[in-house]
Structure 1
Amino acid sequence: MHMHLIILGILMLWSRLTEADVCSCPLERPTKLASKRGIAYNDVNLANLLSLHCPACKWAYNWGSTREEVLNPDVEYVPMLWSNAPEHVRAWETQEKVDGIIFSFNEPDVADQSNMTAVEAAAAHILYMNSLPDQARVGTPSITSSSKPSQGLSWLKDFLHECQNLGGCRFDFCNTHWYSEAQWIEAMFAHLDEVHKVCEGKPVWLTEFAVQGTDEEVGSFLEAAVPRLERLPYLEAYSYFLAAQGSLVGSSGFLSYFGNIYATVS
């Protein structure tokens, strides 16, 4: 009888642990970032150039799952599982299970990026993200700012709905992008507000944003936008697109006009 009670107790404990593994994980883990401002990059040398001139740039990502050894050690690298395609999953699974900040899929709401339906993304997110160490902070798949059906916020709503249907996706913040002309600054902040609402009040990350215009117009946009992003309570992090020539880096190999503004404005 005594042994029967012990076995029953173990089974009850296992049941509770299993339920926790598939829950929506309401526990919000505190951000470990030293600064909101980040670096989106493809060329690690240009990422290091930006970090050299941007004291506030304390995190970076490259849409991949591997940190280059030469990346500035003072910059926190954030890995991403770009999609559920086999080549991305293989690269992801060869990495050690990280306990920092993790990005889920990149723009699954559009065909020319990871291109996943909400139900496909929810199932893959549960498979690869729910089992990460407890200390990890996980983002939802990043969405575009598109207002088309089944894109942008519409896709995020569908994703969260499918997560509920499948037993719960683990996420600590929602990840979004924004592209527009330079004069649409208020529309960008309205978009962030909507993401925050759809995200059940959880924090928001703006991991790609860029505007079209002259260098002066882009510079003026950043001078106005960055201080507001810094003050926005629910926004944990942001990164301008991109540490590359033609954007934050000029053709001379130094920071561009508005790259200097991004690096220094406070």
Structure 2
Amino acid sequence: MSIKSTLFLGLAALSAMTEAAPTKRASAGKRGLAFPKQNNGVAGSTYTQLFKNYDQITWMYDWEAVIEGTPVTGLEYVPLLHSNEDWCTAGWSANVANAQKDYKVSHVLSFNEPDQCGGGGSCMSVSDAVTAHKKYIQPLASSLKIGSPAVTNGDGEAKGINWLKSFVSACSDCQIDFVVAHYYAWDKAADFKAYLTKFHETFNKPVWVTEFGVTEGDAPTFLKEVLPWMDQQSWIERYAWHMAAPTTSESSLKYLLNEAGNALNDVGTAFAS
């Protein structure tokens, strides 16, 4: 075979390989997995293994600062201080330090839904949250990026954006690198976009959406519209659907996995793809 023929075949093979190789989107890096620490006796980190072939997924969190079990490799971990209760604060600093040994850690998250009592909310007054944030979160600011408490999209004087405005004002000497939103509503993408835009314009900081879900309607279609939009907004840094766990008949939300917890469902496929 001539050198010219060999060169031609080599270039053809290279071209075929290039066309077949998967290409990451330019926005890759925002999408993360929120998973339960435990789910009916199963370590929630187990479910992350189902996402190992999806390059869009780059980070994870479990509403705590400790992971049980073995998560998929290669994801950044973001510790969270759920509340100011002893079960959360005891060992917080040590848990963050240990997490840094086992995973890439560059950010931490403050309290989970302090503007809500029940339903996973930490039910904290603004003054209590400021005191605890300064004691437990602020000391990490020299080495990690700090998120605000995550608030619901509730509408009221002590809910959602209004609660967080009061917190930011009272904690004006705190380092807050990004603000954190949760959003649950029907499948109207325009409402979702409008709320997050308002959230960003209120605080003029990067936004993380660490929980969002559809309570009524077509979740996969909703995701197909809002994911590209979030990826295009430079001010939205990260987001995670609620959640990487088996869907149950008891919840109005569809999670990312089927009821058996052994495969992605239609929502999971729409989110990860």
Q: TM-score, normalised by structure 1?
A: 0.80
CA–CA distance in structure 2, aligned partners of residues 87 and 81 of structure 1: 10
Q: 2:209 — aligned with what? A: 206
8 Å contact from structure 2 (residues 185, 216) kept in 1? no
Which range moves more in the overlay, 107-116 or 63-72? 63-72
Q: 2:196 — aligned with what? A: 192
- Code of the aligned partner of 2:29: S
Q: 2:66 — aligned with what? A: 66
**1:140 aligned to 2:148?**
yes
Residue 96 of structure 1, CA deviation: 4.4
Which range moves more in the overlay, 66-75 or 242-251? 66-75
8 Å contact from structure 1 (residues 81, 103) kept in 2? yes
**1:254 aligned to 2:255?**
no
Q: 2:223 — aligned with what? A: 222
Residue 53 of structure 1, CA deviation: 4.1
Residue 212 of structure 1, CA deviation: 2.5
CA–CA distance in structure 1, aligned partners of residues 167 and 141 of structure 2: 23
Choose between structure 1 and 2: higher strand proportion: 2
Alignment length, in residue pairs?
Answer: 224
8 Å contact from structure 1 (residues 53, 263) kept in 2? no
Residue 150 of structure 1, CA deviation: 0.5
CA–CA distance in structure 2, aligned partners of residues 187 and 54 of structure 1: 28
CA–CA distance in structure 1, aligned partners of residues 129 and 202 of structure 2: 17
SS at match of 2:57: coil
- Code of the aligned partner of 1:171: I
Gaps of 5+ in 2: 1-26, 37-43, 248-254
1:8-64 CA distance string (max 9 Å, x none): xxxxxxxxxxxxxxxxxxxxxxxxx97000001011111221x22422101000001
- For residue 159 of structure 2, the aligned residue among 145, 151, 167 is 151
Gaps of 5+ in 1: 1-32
CA–CA distance in structure 2, aligned partners of residues 37 and 157 of structure 1: 26
SS at match of 1:95: helix
- Code of the aligned partner of 2:270: I
CA–CA distance in structure 1, aligned partners of residues 140 and 93 of structure 2: 12
Q: 2:186 — aligned with what? A: 181
Residue 191 of structure 1, CA deviation: 1.4
- Code of the aligned partner of 1:102: V
Q: 2:35 — aligned with what? A: 41
Q: After the TM superposition, list the runs of 4 or more consecutive aligned residues in structure 1 that deviate by more than 4 angstroms.
A: none
CA–CA distance in structure 2, aligned partners of residues 56 and 134 of structure 1: 29
CA–CA distance in structure 2, aligned partners of residues 157 and 261 of structure 1: 33
Q: 1:18 — aligned with what? A: none
CA–CA distance in structure 2, aligned partners of residues 181 and 62 of structure 1: 25
Residue 93 of structure 1, CA deviation: 3.2
Pairing of 1:101-120 with structure 2 (within 5 A): 101-112=107-118, 113-120=121-128
Question: Residues 75, 64 of structure 1: CA spacing in aligned structure 2 closer, same or farther, 3 A cutoff?
Answer: same
**1:56 aligned to 2:40?**
no
Question: Residues 34, 138 of structure 1: CA spacing in aligned structure 2 closer, same or farther, 3 A cutoff?
Answer: farther
Which range moves more in the overlay, 138-147 or 190-199? 190-199
1:197-236 CA distance string (max 9 Å, x none): 222x11000000000235xx11100111101010011000
